[in-house]
Amino acid sequence: MFKDFPNSLLHKMSKERLAYHAHDWTIAEDTYSKSEKLRDFFTILATDTEKETTFLIATEAKNYPISGIMFHPET
Name the residue type at position 46: A
Q: 24, 43 in Cβ contact below 8 A?
A: no
Q: Tell me which residue range forms the domain holding 60.
A: 30-75
- In tens digits, the chain (75 residues) has pLDDT values of 667 778 887 787 777 766 655 566 778 899 999 999 999 999 999 888 888 889 898 899 999 999 888 766 554
Beta strands in the chain, from DSSP E residues, in sequence order? 42-50, 53-61, 67-69
In a domain, 35, yes or no: yes
Contact 38, 26 (CB under 8 A): no
Q: Domains in the chain: how many in total?
A: 1
Residue 11 lies in a domain: no
C-alpha 19/C-alpha 16 separation (Å) is: 9
